Amino acid sequence: MTTTFVQNQAFFKYLTAFLTGQLLLPDDAAYERVRHLWNRKVKTQPAAIVRCLTVQDVIHTVRWTRAQGLPLSVRGGGHDFAGRALVENGVVIDLSQMRAVTIDPDARSAHVQGGATAGDLMEAAQEYGLATATGTVSSVGMAGFTLGGGYSPLIGAYGLGADNLLSAQVVTADGQLVTANAQEHADLLWGLRGGGGNFGAVVSLEYRLHPLTTVLSGLLLYPLEQAKTVLHRFNEFIATAPDELTIPSGFLQMPDGLPGLFLSPTYCGSLEAGEQAIAPLRTFGDLLVDRVQPVTYDALIHGQDALTPKGRHYYIQTRSLKGLQTETIKVLLEQGLPLPSPFSLIQVHNFHGAASRVGVSETAFALRQDHLMVEAIAAWDPQSPVEEQRHIEWAQNLSYALAPYAFKGGYINLLDEKEQERVPLAFGSNYEQLLDLKRTYDPDDVFRSTIGHFTS
């Protein structure tokens, strides 16, 4: 710690006097437990964590923190790779206790608080036979997921998470509560759909829901020696796949310690049509595992939680490819394998369908053509600094090797703090409009979720 006020209860007296929630300082017993994010690698030490229970808590914290000249950050669900939810020696607005979800089955919409997770939303919506695009594991916070864009197993049919955002309530940098929807502050709604959490603290969101209970989904696993053939056939197949079929793919370590190639199709139409649509995937190679079956959407997402549990150390690099060509398949096999640990994996998201039919300028999220978003996910239990660097270098080396074949920019939710130069490229022609929006709603750069800040 570099200043004395951080451990001084008296300094925060006026802040705590008007809070419904709890203020945690570094000396408090619960501070360390609450400070931890999904990625245990993040070591940032805030001066204070405000565990908000109401919107008024958020408003008061923003106003007090700004009056004191302290840095500020917002934590939603806490499923955070880069640690943007925490600010060193500053104040964290922690929304993780604000997780209420209200479903309007007639309007097919959901109102969720800023700390709600994919699991919270799915569990509430499934009671009415409804769902929307969520992250691939249940602990992903809906706010952060949406503000960055939001890749989902339902992306082909329903678009990005951001495409399903109907409105949001935001506490701006001057401590005002505004509603962003199609009628008021429409410019802000545009920016929230993929522009990152750079314009305020998002305390609630409203989503479009879709009739959905059961999907046809599961794991198809192929031997590594057939990966080239399978991936070439997969690349041809996805060019004409129906909207209802989205197919994440990649590499994971099998129980025998060897890497395997997986396809993980999700079909969200009728089960009969799904069986017909998925059938060709089974002919791409000699299947080691076929676990495709009808499953509720909620169970599908919860079933993937074990792949990336909270508490491990993670480092992620990402590149978006137009498709899988001979050169990129070679890079994945030669630079991506072997995986650096049994917990690490390469996951490739299939962006297509409804998400690709949204115009580039309709939302802040700019990459609207069919593509594959590659995640190199290094995951390990805490070990020596040498081991940590080995995992980091694996992900970086794969990213560098894919870069010549990739779109410029990257997925902002997964960019590292040292990749600031990729941010303008990610937004492309939308970047100048985002700068204007930043000047309107946060001219002093209080909220810095997209790799620190926008630069003009």
pLDDT, tens digit, 9 for 90 and up, residues 194-216: 999 999 999 999 999 999 999 99
Phi, psi dihedral angles at 302 (to 5 degrees): -60, -30
* Same domain flag for 270 and 129: no
* Same domain flag for 220 and 336: yes
**Does the residue 448 lie in any domain?**
no
Residue 105 in contact with residue 126, Cβ under 8 Å? no
Measured in residues, the chain has a length of 456
* 316, β-bridge pairs: 377
**Does the residue 313 lie in any domain?**
yes
Percentage of the chain surpassing pLDDT 90?
A: 92
Residue 135 Cα distances to 20, 121, 189, 304, angstroms = 30, 11, 20, 10
* Same domain flag for 162 and 145: yes
Q: Which domain CATH number covers 309?
A: 3.40.462.20
Q: For the chain, how many structural domains are there in total?
A: 3
Give the DSSP per-residue string, 104-166. Answer: ETTTTEEEEETT-BHHHHHHHHGGGTEE----SSTTSBHHHHHHH----TTHHHH--TGGGEE
**Does the residue 421 lie in any domain?**
no
Q: Which residues of the chain have pLDDT under 70?
A: 1-8, 450-456
Q: Which domain CATH number covers 162?
A: 3.30.465.10
pLDDT tens-place string over residues 410-438 = 999 999 888 999 999 999 999 999 999 99
Structure token digits, residue 323:
């498709």
> How far is residue 46's CA from residue 127's CA, in Å, rounded to a whole number?
39
Identify the pLDDT of residue 286: 96
Tell me the whole-structure pTM to 2 decimals. Answer: 0.95
Given 73, 94, 115, which residue is the final one in a domain? 94
Identify the pLDDT of residue 4: 44
Look up the domain containing 155 and give its range.
101-212+431-441
* Same domain flag for 291 and 265: yes
Identify the pLDDT of residue 453: 54
Residue 450 Cα distances to 247, 416, 435, angstroms = 28, 10, 12
Identify the pLDDT of residue 383: 78
* Same domain flag for 59 and 135: no
Location of structure tokens 């990749």:
419
* Same domain flag for 230 and 207: no
Structure token digits, residue 113:
């608080």
* Same domain flag for 348 and 437: no
**Does the residue 66 lie in any domain?**
yes
* Same domain flag for 148 and 199: yes
Question: Residue 352: which residues within 8 A CB-CB, separation 6 or more?
Answer: 155, 156, 238, 241, 243, 246, 370
Torsion angle, alpha carbons of 157, 160, 165, 171, to 10: 170
Using DSSP bridges, classify how beta strands 72-75 and 91-94 pair: parallel, antiparallel or unpaired: parallel
**Does the residue 424 lie in any domain?**
no
* Same domain flag for 166 and 56: no
* Same domain flag for 198 and 235: no
**Does the residue 451 lie in any domain?**
no
Residue 169 in contact with residue 142, Cβ under 8 Å? no
* Same domain flag for 197 and 174: yes
> How far is residue 51's CA from residue 49's CA, in Å, rounded to a whole number?
6
Residue 335 in contact with residue 401, Cβ under 8 Å? yes
- Please choose, from the candidates 454, 446, 452, 451, the residue with its C-alpha nearest in 3D space to the C-alpha of residue 61: 446
Using DSSP bridges, classify how beta strands 91-94 and 48-51 pair: parallel, antiparallel or unpaired: parallel
Given 77, 94, 111, which residue is the final one in a domain? 94
Q: Which domain CATH number covers 61?
A: 3.30.43.10
CA angle 253, 309, 83 (to 5 degrees): 115
**Does the residue 365 lie in any domain?**
yes
* Same domain flag for 333 and 275: yes
The three-class DSSP label of residue 444 is coil
**Does the residue 390 lie in any domain?**
yes
Given 94, 111, 131, which residue is the final one in a domain? 94
Identify the pLDDT of residue 5: 45
